[in-house]
Amino acid sequence: MGICFTQSSTEKFSLLKALEVMHLTRFMDDKMNKLVRQNKGATFHLPVSGHEMIGAVSALSLTPGTDWAYPYYRDRAFAIGLGCSLVDLLAAFLARDIENHSGGRMMPEHYCQKNLRIPCQSSVVGSQFLQAVGAAKSAQLRGKKEVVYVSGGDGSTSQGDFHEALNFSCIHNLPVIFVIQDNGWAISVPVEDQTAGGSIAKIAKGYEGVAVYEFDGCDYLQTTEALKSAVEKARNNLGPSVVVAKVPRIGPHSSSDDPKKYKTEELLDAEKMRDPIARFEQWLLEEGVITSEELETLRKTHFEMIESAAVKADQFPMPSKSGAEDKVYAPFTPPESIVSEPGESIVLMDAINHALIEEMEHDAGVVVFGQDVAVGKGGVFGITRTLSDRFGKDRCFNTPLAESTIVGVAIGMSSDGFHKPVVEIQFADYSWTAMNQIFNELSSIHYRSNGVWNCPIVIRMPYGGYIQGGPYHSQSIEAFLSHCPGLKIAIPSNAADAKRLLKAAIRDPNPVIFLEHKALYRQRLFCARAETGPEEFLPFGQAQVVRSGTDVTVVGWGMTALMANEAAEALSKEGISVEVIDLRTIVPLDFETVLGSIKKTGKLLIAHEAARNSGFGAELAARASEEGFLYLDAPVQRVTGKNCPVPYCKDLEDEVLPQRKDIEAALKILSEY
Ligand SMILES: Cc1ncc(C[n+]2csc(CCOP(=O)(O)OP(=O)(O)O)c2C)c(N)n1
């Protein structure tokens, strides 16, 4: 390193601490490599050799328990440096039953520890960046000087989420440090096939307001200098930094990989020669920080620390099989409803607006954000109108036009135990660009963290057709969502349900997708209701028997619940008695009410707007045959959207979406069975 260095005792302590973390990380790597072949619970190993210095120095630059950390899988040096116990890390590697790092639910090296403010990490390369930015936004809103650290490899910077995260953090001047551990490879893909121009640092400089550092991540002085500067910047609320540390990946990507298939012998040797530990040790000796005898003693001590931690880790049991399905949802019962005098008649969009106002008044942590939701417009449907005037721009703000940003930031913000983001995706049709954050991240954080972290987030999405919205403003996506464990899904069909369900959703510690039918927002005739009071909540999983009947049952939700009711009314004039059930929430599902009705009528029609193939009706029909077969006097029938995108022209749209007359006809046939 060739820089003259005179050490004080504090400096010596820092140097030896860094050495210790690096040694422990390397010796743990060696140990894991052996353990993976011993059939003790581990089947997979991600070596971190070569990345030790950047991880160790980063961790030692932060304040554990105050700052937030989103370390990626090759950042074990960071986890050790921040204070994760060696026993825990090894026990997690062996998939054992411990509180931290998922308790056997995640593969190794997915860090998660509440007291160290390491939220639950996933296997998805790159999705951590937006969550880190959300945590930084939360720190900013809470007025705290908390720094947020997030790391990733050079490959992860190709993900859109990385760029969305940089964009958002620059717009909001957030205290976040993006540490890119650039080993030049993403498994077998070299940087020239990965990054335009070969340098993510150059690209990052294009984001206004970000400080960019690029240096040799095996050089202690360069690494500490960059981290010190980035932490200072973040601590003083001067915005984000991108820290690109050039490091070697010494060894394979994982225990399933053979780098000889894509790296030459010369390159593999050259990477070994860059070993940050060998280089650091040599430098400490040259600078007279330690003698070779002291170094040997330290190596031995650190080696023994890992050996002894491994013995202790192996004493933890495997998680109990009986708990495999536990903690998909955090327990929750909404507050008891105190029913008020009925208020004025309001439509669904007013009900949602009023629920938001009441909950924002009730809880200072409730924040609303999304596209166009703030001042002036208040959302393209006007649902969030007045919120930013009433509660200020910190509590209702616009985001860039980036759905992954909206959900990723919400996840990060919700980690603080204070904020409850209620975000808007402008149209359900555009939720797909957020689906990685919804499916792979949000839905399973409670489960993956072994119940340690929650995501109290509500995602409101206008959905559905009948308004000539064409294929991109008409989709009904509830069946896709219902397939994802960990999400709750509400679909109100009238103003009273909408208000009480949304208030319950906001109080819920679990993620809720709140689907609002666009065609019902202003619908007065069938959807308006007397306003419910501020202490009225509707628990999820309670279907409503909208109309009682004896001949045939029809189940719907959203628009089809209304159509079914109209059809039932028409058929009553012909002497056919139809029981109409509005599910109101499809997850959790109140199948008891459906089954009770089947027992009475013996006939079931399911009506939904979404395409027929694998629609939620298929799930209901399956349940009806499993649990209601003995009570059925006719085959279960469905009236659904066609297996076709929803076209724009009214005549075409009417052909594709189910109509009231279709429900009526199907009910009539069933009743005659
Ligand atoms: C979104 C996503 N795509 C693919 C993978 C499979 N995968 C896991 S690690 C990895 C390479 C990541 O490379 P890089 O970000 O450079 O980090 P490194 O492993 O080199 O430290 C890939 C492709 C994944 N986990 N997530």
| Residue to substitute in 73, 162, 187, 249 for testing ligand 1 pocket (most ligand atoms within 8 angstroms of CB) | 187
pLDDT at 1: 45
Token pair in block for residue 384: 């969030």
473 is catalytic: yes
Q: What is the CATH number of the domain that holds 627?
A: 3.40.50.920
- C-alpha 187 – ligand 1 centre gap (Å): 7
Residue 436 counted as domain residue: yes
Residues 266 and 358 in one domain: no
Same domain flag for 213 and 357: no
Q: How far does residue 431's CA lie from ligand 1's centre (Å)?
A: 24
3-state secondary structure 258-306: CHHHCCCHHHHHHHHHCCHHHHHHHHHHHCCCCCHHHHHHHHHHHHHHH
State the pLDDT at residue 376.
Answer: 83
Residues 70 and 125 in one domain: yes
- Smallest CA-to-CA distance from 426 within 493, 488, 365, 472 is with 472
Supply the residue whose CA is at minimum distance from atom 19 of ligand 1. Answer: 186
* Inter-residue contact 79 to 111 (CB < 8 Å): yes
**Pocket perturbation via mutation, ligand 1, pick of 125, 178, 253 by most ligand atoms within 8 A of CB:** 125
185 lines ligand 1 (CB under 6 A): yes
Q: Residue 335 domain-assigned?
A: no
394 with 482, same domain: the answer is yes
Q: Which of 479, 499, 530 is the last residue of a domain?
A: 530
Choosing from 495, 530, 565, the residue where a domain stops is 530
CB-ligand 1 contact for 436 (6 Å cutoff): no
Residues 155, 266, single domain; the answer is yes
Give the model's pLDDT for residue 326. Answer: 97
Residue 144 lies in a domain: yes
Q: How far apart are CA 418 and CA 142, in angstroms?
A: 9
Residues 177 and 233: their CA atoms lie apart, in Å, by: 9
What is the number of structural domains in the chain?
A: 3
Q: How far is 128 from 161, CA to CA, in rounded Å?
A: 8
Atom of ligand 1 nearest to the CA of 181: 21
Q: What pLDDT score was predicted for residue 375?
A: 86
Mean pLDDT by 10 residues, the chain (673 residues): 60 96 98 93 94 98 98 98 98 97 95 98 98 98 98 98 98 98 98 95 97 98 98 98 98 95 97 98 97 98 98 97 97 95 97 98 98 94 96 98 98 97 98 98 98 98 98 98 98 98 98 98 96 98 98 98 98 98 98 98 98 98 98 98 98 98 98 95
Q: Within a domain: residue 329?
A: no
183 in ligand 1 pocket by Cβ < 6 Å?
Answer: yes
Asked if residue 553 and residue 522 are part of one domain, the reply reads no
The CATH number for 94's domain is 3.40.50.970
Same domain, yes or no, for 32 and 139?
Answer: yes
Q: Is 604 within a domain?
A: yes
Same domain (yes/no): 413, 552: no
Is the beta carbon of 233 within 6 A of some atom in ligand 1? no
Instruction: Looking at the structure, tell me whether residues 168 and 26 fall in a common domain.
Output: yes
CA of 73 to the centre of ligand 1 (A): 9
Evaluate whether residue 339 is within a structural domain: no
Kindly state whether residues 131 and 68 are assigned to the same domain.
yes
The SS3 assignment for 469 reads coil
Structure tokens belonging to residue 231: 């932490």
DSSP conformational letter for 436: I
Q: What pLDDT sits at residue 7?
A: 65
Note whether residue 488 is domain-resident. Answer: yes
Looking at the domain assignment, is residue 217 inside a domain?
yes
Residue 215: which domain range? 9-314
- Of 463, 497, 530, the one marking the end of a domain is 530
My answer on whether 657 and 581 are in the same domain is yes
Cβ distance 117 to 79 under 8 Å? no
Question: What are the two backbone dihedrals, phi and then psi, of residue 601, each rounded to the nearest 5 degrees?
Answer: -95, -30
**Whether residue 406 sits in one domain with residue 475:** yes
Q: Measured from the CB, is residue 187 less than 6 Å from ligand 1?
A: yes
pLDDT at 6: 58
96 within 8 A of 83, measured Cβ to Cβ: no
- The active-site residue, picked from 51, 172, 473, 608, is 473
What distance in Å separates the CA atoms of residue 87 and residue 579, rounded to the nearest whole number? 59
